[in-house]
C-alpha cells in the first residue's frame, strides 16, 4: 500500500499533468514508427509531498536546489561589503575580476539571475526596438524566460531548430539572417544566442568545432554571439579545457553561480569592457542593482574557485544512474547513454499508460512494500520533462551513495510497474 499524503490540490495538479503529459496521448504513428509529438511547453512539477518520516530524500529536480555549506556561509558572513551601485563593494569587485579572468574576457558583471543576465545581454546587443536575435527553438532563452526579450526589450526572435546535441544547422542559421535592412519591411539581425550546456537536450556540450564555425559565420555578417552558459563550467569539465577555450568563440556569456557551482544566488555576465558598461545601466533599469551584494558575491567567489573541480563527480554519478536505469531487470526505462555528457539525465518511461508525471510521483512516494524490500524508504524527486521524458539532475547535494539508492528505487519502481502490468493482462 502506498502511504502517500499528497494534498488534494497537488493530486489534482498531478492528475492534470498526467493527462497533459501522457506520451501515449500525444504520440502519432508514421510508417510503423512511433514519434513523440514535441510538447515542450507542458513539462510540469511532480509531487514533492513527504510520506514516511524516516525516508531519505534524494532531490534530483534541478541543480538549483543546493544549499550553501558551512564554508560558504562563513565566507558570506565575513564578507567585506559596500554599496555596489556606487561600485564600492570590494567583494563584488573581486568576484567580477575573478570571473573575467576565468572567462578570458575583459570584464564581468554580477547579476541576480541567469534570466536577468541573458536579458541584459539581449538588451545591450540589440539596441533598437525591432532588432532581431536568432536563437535555438529549444533554448532556455526562448522557452523558459517568458519572452522577456520581446516583452521587456522590444527584440524580435527568430528560431533555428536545435538538434539533440544542442547545436543547430549553420546553413539554416545563415538562411535566417536578414539582408533587407534598411528596407522598412525587415528587422535587423543583430545577435545569435547559443546554450552550453544545453538544458532541454539533457546537458549536452556544444562541440568546439561547431562554436568556431558559428563564430566565423557571425563575423562574416557582423552578428554578435551570446552564450547562455548557465552550465558552461560543466561543459569545460567534460571537454577538459579551461572555460576561456570555449568562450573565445563568443562575444558575451552568462554563467550561473547558483546551479552546479552551489552558490545561493547569482550569475556572471562576461564580455568586453564597453559591453559591460552598458550592461551596468541595463541591470539598473531592470531593478538588478544590488547594494551590499558582497554577502552574495562571497559565495560566488568560492563557487568559482572551489566548486568547478567537483563537477566531475556529478557527471560520474549522473552516468552511473543512467547505466543503472538500463540495467534494470524490467526494461521500463529508455536512455541514450551517449547523450549523458554532464550532470543531466533524460530518460523515457516505456510502461503502458504511465506518464512521466506519474513515474515521478511513484519515485517520490514511499510504500511499506518498498521499506520491506529495500530496508528503507527513498524518495527520489525528479521533474517530468519535455517530449514525454523525465529529467534528473546531479549537484553537490547528491553523493555516490545517494545515486546508488536512487538507482535502487528506480529498479523497485520498474518491478512494481512490470508486476502491475502482468496482473492487468
Ligand atoms: C540554460 C539556462 N539558462 C538560464 C537559466 C535561468 O537562470 P535563473 O534561474 O538564475 O534565472 C536557467 C535556469 O535553470 C538555465 O537552465
Percent residues over pLDDT 70 in the chain: 88
The number of the ligand 1 atom at minimal distance from the alpha carbon of 139 is 1
Extents of the domains making up the chain: 8-63+310-424, 70-306
Q: What is the pLDDT of residues 194-220, one digit of tens each?
A: 999 999 999 999 999 999 999 999 999
Give burial (CB, 10 Å; 0-12/13-18/19+) of 147: middle
Percent residues over pLDDT 90 in the chain: 78
> 3-state DSSP call for residue 192?
strand
Tell me the mean pLDDT in the region 213-239.
98
pLDDT at 388: 86
Residue nearest to atom 5 of ligand 1 (CA): 114
Do the bridges between strand 389-393 and strand 344-349 make them parallel or antiparallel, or are there none, so unpaired? antiparallel
Tell me the mean pLDDT in the region 295-310.
97
* Cα angle: 213, vertex 218, 223; to 5 degrees: 160
Report the distance separating Cα 382 and Cα 209, nearest Å: 33
Q: Is the CB of 189 under 6 A from ligand 1?
A: no
> 3-state DSSP call for residue 277?
helix
Tell me the mean pLDDT in the region 54-58.
92
Residue 9 has pLDDT above 90, yes or no: no
Residue nearest to atom 7 of ligand 1 (CA): 114
Backbone angles phi, psi at 405, to 5 degrees: -65, -40
Q: Is the CB of 114 under 6 A from ligand 1?
A: yes
pTM value surpassing 0.85: yes
The number of the ligand 1 atom at minimal distance from the alpha carbon of 198 is 1
Q: What is the pLDDT of residues 332-348, one digit of tens each?
A: 999 999 999 999 999 99
Confidence of residue 4 (pLDDT cuts 50, 70, 90): very low
Fold of 70-306: 3.40.640
Give the Å distance between the CA of 115 and the centre of ligand 1: 6
Residue nearest to atom 13 of ligand 1 (CA): 114
Residue 302 has pLDDT above 80, yes or no: yes
Q: Is the CB of 65 under 6 A from ligand 1?
A: no
**264, 68 in Cβ contact below 8 A?**
yes
To test the pocket of ligand 1, the residue of 119, 206, 258, 259 to mutate (highest count of ligand atoms within 8 Å of its CB) is 259
Cell of 392: 534528473
Fold of 8-63+310-424: 3.90.1150
Q: What is the pLDDT of residues 374-385, one digit of tens each?
A: 889 999 999 999
Residue ranges of alpha helices (H) inside 144-287 are 148-151, 170-176, 208-220, 232-239, 243-247, 273-285
Report the distance separating Cα 373 and Cα 279, nearest Å: 56
Report the distance separating Cα 392 and Cα 60, nearest Å: 5
Q: Is the CB of 257 under 6 A from ligand 1?
A: no
Residue 47 has pLDDT above 90, yes or no: no
Please identify which residue in the block is written with the cell numbers 524527486. 381
CB-side neighbour CA atoms (13 Å) of 316? 10
The number of the ligand 1 atom at minimal distance from the alpha carbon of 231 is 1
A 10 A CB-CB count for 37 gives 11
Question: Looking at 9-13, 179-183, 269-273, 377-381, which range is the least confident one?
Answer: 9-13
The per-residue pLDDT of the chain, averaged, comes to: 89
pLDDT at 100: 98
Tell me the mean pLDDT in the region 70-87.
98
Amino acid at each position: 500500500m502506498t502511504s502517500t499524503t499528497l494534498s488534494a490540490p497537488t493530486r489534482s495538479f498531478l492528475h492534470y499533468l498526467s493527462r497533459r503529459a501522457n506520451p501515449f496521448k500525444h504520440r502519432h504513428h508514421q510508417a510503423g514508427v512511433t514519434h513523440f509529438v514535441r510538447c515542450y511547453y507542458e513539462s510540469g512539477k511532480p509531487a514533492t509531498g513527504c510520506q514516511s518520516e524516516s525516508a531519505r530524500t534524494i532531490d534530483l529536480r534541478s541543480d538549483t536546489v543546493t544549499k550553501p555549506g558551512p564554508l560558504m556561509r562563513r565566507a558570506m558572513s565575513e564578507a567585506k561589503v559596500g554599496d555596489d551601485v556606487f561600485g564600492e563593494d570590494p567583494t563584488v569587485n573581486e568576484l567580477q575580476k575573478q570571473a573575467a579572468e576565468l572567462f578570458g574576457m575583459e570584464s564581468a558583471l554580477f547579476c541576480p539571475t541567469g534570466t536577468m543576465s541573458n536579458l541584459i545581454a539581449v538588451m545591450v546587443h540589440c539596441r533598437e526596438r525591432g532588432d532581431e536575435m536568432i536563437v535555438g527553438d529549444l533554448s532556455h532563452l526562448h522557452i523558459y524566460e517568458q519572452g522577456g526579450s520581446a516583452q521587456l526589450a522590444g527584440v524580435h526572435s527568430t528560431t533555428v531548430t536545435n538538434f539533440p546535441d544542442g547545436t543547430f544547422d549553420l546553413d539554416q542559421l545563415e538562411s535566417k539572417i536578414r539582408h533587407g535592412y534598411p528596407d522598412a519591411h525587415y528587422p535587423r539581425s543583430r545577435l545569435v544566442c547559443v546554450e552550453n550546456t544545453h538544458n532541454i537536450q539533457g546537458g549536452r556540450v556544444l562541440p568546439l568545432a561547431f562554436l568556431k564555425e558559428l563564430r566565423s559565420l557571425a563575423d562574416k555578417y557582423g552578428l554578435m554571439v551570446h552564450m547562455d552558459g548557465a552550465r558552461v563550467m560543466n561543459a569545460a569539465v567534460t571537454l577538459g579545457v579551461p572555460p576561456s577555450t570555449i568562450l573565445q568563440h563568443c562575444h558575451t556569456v552568462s554563467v550561473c553561480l547558483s546551479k552546479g557551482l552551489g552558490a545561493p544566488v547569482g550569475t556572471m555576465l562576461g564580455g568586453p569592457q564597453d559591453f559591460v558598461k552598458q550592461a551596468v545601466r541595463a541591470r539598473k533599469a531592470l531593478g538588478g542593482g544590488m547594494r551590499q551584494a558582497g554577502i552574495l558575491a562571497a559565495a560566488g567567489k568560492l563557487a568559482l574557485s572551489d566548486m568547478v573541480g567537483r563537477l566531475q563527480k556529478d557527471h560520474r554519478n549522473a552516468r552511473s544512474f543512467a547505466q543503472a536505469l538500463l540495467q534494470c531487470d524490467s526494461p521500463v526505462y529508455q536512455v541514450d547513454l551517449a547523450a549523458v555528457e554532464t550532470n543531466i539525465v533524460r530518460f523515457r518511461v516505456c510502461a503502458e499508460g504511465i506518464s512521466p508525471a506519474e513515474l515521478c510521483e511513484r519515485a517520490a512516494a514511499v510504500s511499506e512494500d518498498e521499506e520491506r524490500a529495500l530496508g528503507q524508504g527513498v524518495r527520489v524527486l525528479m521533474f517530468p520533462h519535455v517530449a514525454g521524458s523525465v529529467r534528473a539532475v546531479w549537484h553537490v547535494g547528491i553523493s555516490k551513495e545517494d545515486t546508488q539508492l536512487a538507482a535502487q528505487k528506480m529498479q523497485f519502481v520498474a518491478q512494481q510497474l512490470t508486476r502491475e502490468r502482468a496482473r492487468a493482462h
